C-alpha cells in the first residue's frame, strides 16, 4: 500500500485515524503497531516476516547490550554490537545487492534498528525493555517504507506515550496533502515528461539537458513530497519527525546542498559513521579519508551498481574540494551564481542516479555534449521544451520558495487584512480545493510509485 493510492487516502487513513482516536489511551500504541504491520504486509505478507525478525533480533540485542553495560563488560559489549550490526547489514546486502528480491523499506528500517543499537553504545539512549514500544519505533507506518530515518534518540520519549490533539491532526493533514500535491500534481507530471523526452533513441543536446532537468525536479518533488506526507502522518498521531528537505536547490555549495537534501540520511551518516571516525577533529589526511568513506557508503546505500558509487564520489569530490581547496574563496561571488553552480553539479550527478548502469550514464552524458549526433537543437527538443515549459516554470518556482513566499505574504503575514476566522476559512477552502485537484489527478493519471522505493 502506498500513500498516493485512493484506497489509502479515502479508506485506510480515515479508518486508522478513527480507530486510534476512539480507543482508550492504553490501547492506542497496540492499535498503531497492528495497523503498521497491516500496512507493511499489504500486497506481500512475506515482507512482514523479515520485519518481525529484525524487530525481535534487535530488541533482544538491545536488552543484552544493556545487561553487559550494567556489568561493565565493555569489550563483550562492543563484540555484541559489532556482530549484531554485521548481521543487520549482511541481511540488507543479501537482499539489496542480489537477485533475492528486496523487501520494501529494508534500507530504511535497517538504519533505524542500527540507530537504536548505536545510541545504546554511545549512551544516548537506554535499552528499550517494552517490546511494543520498540516495534512501534521500527514499524511505524508513516516512515517505514521510505523514511525519514528517525534516530532512536529522537523518538525514545515520543513512543513511550502517544499524545494526540486536534491542532496536530489538522496540521498533519495539511502537510500530508501538501506532500501528496507535490507527488501527484508535479512529480508524476515531471516523470511522464522525462519518460517522453528520454524515449528518443538519440537526443540532441537540448533534449538531453531538458531530460536531466526534468528528472532532477521530479526526484525533488517525489521524495520531498513523500517526506512531507510521512511527517504529516506522524504528526496526526502525535509524533514529531524532523524535516527531511529544506529547499536544497537554493544551496550555495555542495556541502550546504547535503545539509538540505535527505537531511535524515546525512544526519545518520554524520552521527554514526563520520563522528565515530573522528569527524573533523583529525589531521587533514585522515579527514580526507573520513569524507571519502562517508560518500562511498552513501553511494553504496543507494545501490550496488558502479553508477551509484560514482554518484556518491561525485558529490564527495566537491565536498572535499570545498573543504581543502575552495574554502571561502567563492564567498564574494554573487549568491545567484553560487546557487546555479551548485544546482548544475547536483543535476549532473542525478544522471548517474537515474541511469541503469555506469555505461548508460556515460552514454547519456555524451549526448548532453553532442555525441548523439542530433546536433545542439532539433525539432524534438524545441517541441518538448515548449510543451513542458509551464510545468518546468511551476516546478522551478516551487523549488525556490517563490510559491511559499507568496502564500506567507498574502495570508500568514496578512497582507490581505484578513481576520483570524477568515484566515481559517481560507485555509479550509484551500485544503478542500487541493484535495479535489489531487483526487482528479489520481483518477486521470497512471499510478506511479515513489522513486525511493527502489532504495
Residue with cell 525539432: 379
Rounded to the nearest 10°, the torsion over CA 324, 326, 328, 333 is: -170
pLDDT tens digits along 29-67 = 999 999 999 999 987 888 888 899 999 999 999 999 999
Q: Which three cell numbers stand for residue 389?
A: 515549459
Q: Which three cell numbers stand for residue 316?
A: 564527495
* End-to-end Cα, the chain, rounded Å: 17
Q: Which three cell numbers stand for residue 344?
A: 548544475
pLDDT tens digits along 71-92 = 888 999 999 999 999 999 998 8
Taking residues 352-358, what's their average pLDDT?
Answer: 91
DSSP 53-122: HHHHHHHHHHHHHHHHHHTT-HHHHHHHHHHHHHHHHHHHHHHHSSSS---TTHHHHHHHHHHHHHHHHT
Number of H helices and E strands in the chain, helices first, is: 21, 0
pLDDT class for 453, splitting at 50, 70, 90? low
Count of all residues that appear for the chain in the document? 455
Helix (H) or strand (E) holding 179: helix 166-181
At residue 292, the pLDDT reads 93
At residue 345, the pLDDT reads 96
For the beta carbon of residue 445, count every other beta carbon within 10 angstroms.
14
Q: Which residue among the candidates 182, 252, 302, 315 is catalytic per the annotation?
A: 302
326 burial via Cβ count (<10 Å: 0-12, 13-18, 19+): middle
> To 5 degrees, how large is the angle CA 440–CA 105–CA 254?
85
pLDDT tens digits along 241-283 = 999 999 999 999 999 999 999 999 999 999 999 999 888 888 8
At residue 305, the pLDDT reads 82
DSSP 180-193: HHIIIIIIHHHHHH
Distance, CA of 272 to CA of 269 (rounded, Å): 5
Q: Which of 179-183, 208-212, 392-396, 422-426 has the lowest mean pLDDT?
A: 422-426
Helix (H, G, I), strand (E, B) or coil at 445: coil
Distance, CA of 12 to CA of 178 (rounded, Å): 19
In percent, how much of the chain has pLDDT > 90? 57
CA distances from 308 to 294, 301, 305, 349 (A): 13, 9, 6, 10
At residue 237, the pLDDT reads 92
Res 337 pLDDT > 90: yes
The maximal CA–CA distance of the chain, rounded, in angstroms, is 74
Distance, CA of 266 to CA of 78 (rounded, Å): 24
DSSP 314-379: HHHHHHHHIIIIITTTTTTS-HHHHHHHHHHHHHHHHHHHHSSSHHHHHHHHHHHTTTTSS-S--H
Taking residues 175-200, what's their average pLDDT?
Answer: 92
Residue with cell 483526487: 439
Give just the sign of the alpha carbon dihedral 435, 440, 441, 446: positive
Distance, CA of 159 to CA of 138 (rounded, Å): 11
DSSP 7-68: HIIIIIHHHHHHHHHHS-HHHHHHHHHHHHHHHHHTT-THHHHHHHHHHHHHHHHHHHHHHH
Least Cα distance to 28 among 309, 287, 236 occurs for 236
pLDDT tens digits along 94-105 = 887 775 667 778
Res 415 pLDDT > 60: no
The pTM for the full model equals 0.90
| Every domain of the chain and the residues it spans | 6-162, 168-253+330-444
Taking residues 175-192, what's their average pLDDT?
Answer: 92
Q: Which three cell numbers stand for residue 27?
A: 490501547
302 is known as an active-site residue: yes
**All residues at 6 or more sequence positions from 445 whose CB lies less than 8 Å from its CB, including other chains:** 184, 188, 189, 192
Mean of all residue pLDDT scores within the chain: 88
Distance, CA of 155 to CA of 360 (rounded, Å): 41
Res 449 pLDDT > 90: no
**All residues at 6 or more sequence positions from 373 whose CB lies less than 8 Å from its CB, including other chains:** 202
156 burial via Cβ count (<10 Å: 0-12, 13-18, 19+): middle
Amino acid at each position: 500500500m502506498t500513500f498516493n493510492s485512493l484506497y489509502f487516502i479515502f479508506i485506510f487513513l480515515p479508518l486508522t485515524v478513527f480507530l486510534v482516536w476512539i480507543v482508550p489511551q492504553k490501547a492506542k500504541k497496540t492499535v498503531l503497531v497492528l495497523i503498521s504491520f497491516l500496512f507493511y504486509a499489504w500486497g506481500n505478507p512475506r515482507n512482514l516476516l523479515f520485519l518481525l525478525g529484525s524487530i525481535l533480533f534487535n530488541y533482544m540485542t538491545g536488552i543484552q547490550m544493556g545487561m553487559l553495560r550494567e556489568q561493565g563488560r565493555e569489550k563483550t559489549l562492543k563484540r555484541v554490537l559489532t556482530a549484531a550490526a554485521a548481521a543487520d547489514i549482511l541481511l540488507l546486502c543479501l537482499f539489496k545487492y542480489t537477485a533475492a528480491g528486496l523487501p520494501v523499506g529494508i534500507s530504511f528500517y535497517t538504519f533505524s534498528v542500527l540507530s537504536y543499537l548505536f545510541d545504546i553504545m554511545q549512551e544516548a539512549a537506554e535499552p528499550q525493555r517494552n517490546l511494543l514500544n520498540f516495534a512501534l519505533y521500527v514499524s511505524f507506518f508513516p516512515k517505514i517504507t521510505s523514511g525519514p530515518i528517525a534516530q532512536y534518540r529522537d523518538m525514545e520519549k515520543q513512543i513511550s506515550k502517544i499524545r494526540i490533539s486536534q491542532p496536530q491532526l489538522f496540521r498533519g493533514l495539511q502537510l500530508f496533502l501538501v506532500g501528496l500535491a507535490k507527488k501527484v500534481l508535479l512529480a508524476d507530471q515531471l516523470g511522464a515528461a522525462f519518460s517522453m523526452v528520454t524515449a528518443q533513441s538519440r537526443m540532441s543536446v537540448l533534449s538531453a539537458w531538458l531530460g536531466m532537468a526534468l528528472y532532477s525536479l521530479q526526484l525533488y518533488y517525489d521524495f520531498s513530497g513523500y517526506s512531507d506526507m510521512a511527517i504529516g502522518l506522524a504528526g496526526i498521531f502525535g509524533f514529531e519527525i524532523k524535516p527531511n528537505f529544506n529547499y536544497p536547490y537554493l544551496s550555495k555549495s555542495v556541502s550546504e546542498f547535503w545539509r538540505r537534501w535527505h537531511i535524515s540520511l546525512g544526519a545518520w551518516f554524520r552521527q554514526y559513521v563520520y563522528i565515530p571516525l573522528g569527524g573533523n577533529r583529525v589531521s587533514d589526511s585522515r579527514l580526507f579519508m573520513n569524507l571519502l568513506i562517508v560518500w562511498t557508503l552513501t553511494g553504496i546505500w543507494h545501490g550496488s551498481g558502479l553508477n551509484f558509487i560514482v554518484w556518491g564520489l561525485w558529490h564527495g569530490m566537491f565536498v572535499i574540494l570545498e573543504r581543502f581547496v575552495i574554502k571561502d574563496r567563492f564567498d564574494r561571488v554573487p549568491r545567484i551564481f553560487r546557487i546555479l553552480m551548485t544546482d548544475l553539479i547536483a543535476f549532473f550527478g542525478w544522471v548517474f542516479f537515474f541511469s541503469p548502469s555506469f555505461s548508460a550514464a556515460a552514454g547519456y552524458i555524451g549526448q548532453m555534449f553532442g555525441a548523439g549526433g542530433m546536433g545542439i537543437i532539433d525539432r524534438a527538443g524545441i517541441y518538448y521544451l515548449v510543451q513542458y515549459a509551464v510545468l518546468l516554470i511551476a516546478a522551478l518556482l516551487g523549488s525556490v520558495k517563490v510559491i511559499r513566499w507568496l502564500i506567507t505574504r498574502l495570508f500568514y503575514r496578512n497582507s490581505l487584512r484578513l481576520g483570524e476566522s477568515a484566515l481559517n476559512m481560507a485555509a479550509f477552502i484551500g485544503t478542500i480545493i487541493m484535495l479535489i485537484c489531487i483526487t482528479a489527478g489520481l483518477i486521470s493519471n497512471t499510478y506511479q510509485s515513489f522513486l525511493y522505493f527502489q532504495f
